[in-house]
Each structure stands twice: as structure tokens, then as C-alpha cells.
Amino acid sequence: MSFADLRSFVQALEREGQLKRVGVEVDPILEVSAIADRVSKSPAPEGLAGAPSTDPIHGGTGGHALLFERVRGSRIPLAINLFGSYRRMRMALGGDDFETLAAKVQKLIKPEPPTSFLEKMKMLPELAKIAGYAPKHVKRGMCQEVVHTDGADLTMLPVIKCWPHDGGTDDNVIVGRARRAINGSPFVDGLNPHVQADGRYITLAGIYTTAPDGSEPNIGMYRIQVTGPKSALFHCHMHHDGARHHRMWAAEGKDMPVAIVLGGESVLPYAATCPLPPNVSELLFAGFLNDGGISLVPCKTIPVEVPANAEIVIEGFVSATETAREGPFGDHTGFYSLADNFPTMRITAITHRENPIYPTTIVGPPPMEDYYMGKATERVFLPLLQMLIPDIVDYNLPRWGAFHNFCFVKIRKEYPLQARKVASSIWGAGQMMFSKFIVIVDEDVNVHDEQAVMFAVGANVDPRRDTFLVEGPMDILDHSSPYLAAGSKMGIDATRKIAGEGIVRDWPVSLEMSDEVKRMVDGRWGEYGL
């Protein structure tokens, strides 16, 4: 089972030895993020059944989740690195392993048709259960135990600054010059005197938007730069539904209502990041993960519904016309994403439960918390990718690829140039379109063994024959592309070559000991004294 709210998840992590409390006062400006960065790259606590921390499935890196009880300038404790290990991601999603959850997804999207009346009757409880995944609408929720409207003030929250040049100038992040803030207090950016550039960001919130007619409820996870007690900047890339909703509202000349939701059911942050197919609701998927619908309550000042069990909800309107300079921001690529103009947001209310916890995260050079969320998506969404591209046996988004830079794909090869067809299909599959390098290997190569994949590249690839370039949309954060959000991508066919794939000489047989000899050696291993 997943957890009904953030604090029950925190309590469970503490019981499992996955969380440490920090009782000394810490500064939200850089100190919290520096601690979290170091911890996220430390060995993880022991996982299931005492598995060693070096086990890549049950342990690995990730360190502990952290609860900072005294954050300078705020009375609210701060939680970070909550999802920063395989173990904690499984706990958040309520499963023992990602494969079981993937099988559940596969059953949902491609159920086996019943072949008899009895099997049809057996399906009725399952269909009723699926109907229960829809959101539940309630009148009151713990997220509104305390309500601030006129007194709403973002500075009451322990919002962190992640990296030294966040919210500074592009000159700083390009040439590496440090910018000095007098006495550590917020300074006014000279390029935009209306924006305070102390670089504090809300980073682990679900951003709730709808179309102007109230349809298409969407949850995304976009960063929000705090610029004052009642002002912020709404950063959302052009490809995402939140940006599409904003364009729809702006076309009608209306400001867009937005709710920034922190906490709630433990599945919500994950659901907000999932690359779901078009028109599939994140709230419905969250209900599926939660094994029960998410309870929603109407906001106080905007026409948006939010999870009743959230810790903190920030309500407001994103301007249809006004923009301001947002960024730079230290991103998951390991580099600062440069500043650009994004819509301004005015805050109309902040609601929260009594004694809330503020969840946040820091992104940067992996491994960090977002890496484990991404790996969960990789595993859970394999059946969906296989439904779109049946050729795929398995795939791996390696840690050092920062999600979009590299994709290793295993196929069951059956015809010439199949690898090119698979790569083209991947580039047409939702957010997989941002994959910059796709390496295709045969089904006997373990795509999770990066040495094995690169061995196949070195052994099986003729660069002229087996690499191919295409142009198309790129991740906005890819600073290497010649144009913003547009550039080239490479496919690498590292499969064994067959007739019809250009000039192919006789292909040698891979070295492998015979099964008979392997069985004999296994049986005598104890005799060897090794």
C-alpha cells in the first residue's frame, strides 16, 4: 500500500531506518541543498531483507531521506531526498518491486479477454475496482485547516536556493563569475528591477491546471521561482500540458488559475512526473497507483480542485500577458539552464494543514532524487512502450545520460534495418522524442550492463553503415543543440548485421562455452579448491 499523506510516508521511512532528522538550524540558501547533494551520493541504507547497500536493486546510492526540523526564517520543517533510492521509491508506490507494478500496468492497458461466462463474471469486481481509481470530490480537507488569503506570504515557507547562481545573471553561469549578495540577503536583479534574484525555487510541487472550460485537469512538476511574498514566476516548457493550458487561457485574454500542491498521497509526486499518453489523467493514474481515488477539495480563491490530504497549497493566477526574467537554474543535466522570460504569477491564498511539512528536492549531476523517480518510470512504463513498439524487449536510460541523452534498447531482430525502424518509433513516442543517442542491441545483450552495450557498439558497428542522423525536437535544457528545443539526434545500430543492411561480410559467431562443459564445471566446482 502507498501512503495517504506525506507525514505517514515520513513516519514509515523513519521506522524503516530510511530517514534521518537534523535538529540544528540550517540555512535554506545553499546549505540545505549542499547537504542533500552530498547525502544523495552516499551509500543507501540497507534495503529489503538486509540487502547490502552495494546491491544496485535493493540499495545502491541515495543516502537517507532528511527531515530538517529548524530551517532559518521559517517555522515549517523541510523534507528532502524522500524519493532518493530504489527502496524509498518502491515504498512510495506501495510495491515490493517495480516489475510487479509494471505487470499491473500491462494488465490495465492490455487485459486478457475473457473466454467464458465465468471469466466474464470474475472480471466484474476488477472493473468495479478500476472505476474506483477516479478522483473523489469532498467539501473539506486537511490541506485547508489553516487558510491565509490577505495574509498569504510565500516567505513563510522554507523555500530553498539550490545552486550558487540560481536566479542570478547569464554572465555568471556562462563565464563562472560569482555574484555577491550583501550580507546574504536578497538582492534586486539589475536586468529586471521588479524581480528579486535570491534564486529560491519551489521544486517538488504538483502544478494543477485546467483548460479554460474546466476540462483536461493536468498535474505537472514545474519549477516555480519565488520573487516576493505574493509573486512568483511560472516556468513550464512549451511541450508540456501546463504551457498548452496557459496558451489556451491567454488566447481568451484571461489569467490562468494555478494551484501549487506540496505533499499529499505518496504516489502524487511520481504521477506528476510520468510521461502519460495524451488525455490520460495524472489523477486517474495516481488513483491506480494508490489503489483508490484521490480525494479532491475545491480551492478557496481559484476554480481548481486539489488533493485534500496535501500539506500545503499555494493558489494564484498566472498572467496572460506579463512575463519576467526567470532563471538561471541548476538543472538535472548538471549545468545551469539559462534565463528566459516566463509568465508572472500572483498569489491569492496559501492553505495548509496544522503543523505542515514542506517537501522539496534538488536536481543536478546524478545520482539525485529525480534519477530514482526516472528509473521507476523506466521500469513501470516498459509495458506501455512495448505496446507502442512491440519490437522492444527491454530498455535502459543510463544514469549518466541525464534521462534524454542516451537510451539503450534491446530488440528481437527479425528483418533488415529493424533497428532504424525501432529508433524512429521511439522518437515518435511522447517524451522519448528527446532521446539524443539511441543504441539498439540484440536480445542477448543485457541493456542494464553498460559495459556489455558498449562492447556491442565497438564490436558490431561500422560508423558509416550503422549510424544515422535525424533532426527534430530536443529537450529545451540541451545546451548543445544549435537551436532552442531543436537539433539533431543519432541512432546507432549495434545489432548483428544480416543481408539487406548494406555491405555485410560473413558475421562471426560469439564466443561461448558449451552447456555440457558448463554443467560439468558447475558440478565439480567444489573439487577445484577455488
Helices first, then strands: H and E counts in the chain = 15, 23
Instruction: Kindly state the DSSP code that residue 403 receives in the 8-state scheme.
Output: T
Question: In terms of DSSP H, where are the helices of 176-318?
Answer: 241-251, 268-273, 282-290
Residue 215's SS3 state is coil
User: What is the number of other CB atoms lying within 10 angstroms of the CB of residue 138?
Assistant: 12
Instruction: Kindly state the DSSP code that residue 482 receives in the 8-state scheme.
Output: S
**Cell triple for 413:** 531482430
Q: Kind of pairing, strands 256-263 and 231-234?
A: unpaired
Could you give the strand order of the β-sheet that contains 437-442, starting from the edge strand earlier in sequence?
392-396, 406-411, 437-442, 486-493, 467-473
Choose, from 331, 391, 394, 475, the residue flagged as catalytic.
Answer: 331
345: β partners: 232, 318
d(CA 157, CA 154): 6
Beta strand ranges found along 235-334 (DSSP E): 256-263, 295-298, 305-307, 310-326, 329-330
Instruction: Kindly state the DSSP code that residue 447 receives in the 8-state scheme.
Output: T
User: What is the number of other CB atoms lying within 10 angstroms of the CB of residue 221?
Assistant: 22
- Of 16, 7, 1, 143, give the one whose Cα is nearest residue 67: 7
By the 8 A CB rule, do 235 and 205 touch? no
> What CA dihedral angle connects 317, 318, 322 and 327, to 10 degrees?
130
Residue 226's SS3 state is strand
Residue 236's SS3 state is coil
What's the burial of 278, exposed, middle or buried (CB within 10 Å: 0-12/13-18/19+)?
Answer: exposed
Where residue 49 falls (left for φ over 0; alpha for ψ -120 to 50; beta otherwise) is left
- The answer to whether 331 is a known catalytic residue is yes
By the 8 A CB rule, do 221 and 269 touch? yes
d(CA 273, CA 317): 22
307: β partners: 296
Point out the residues that are catalytic.
Answer: 331
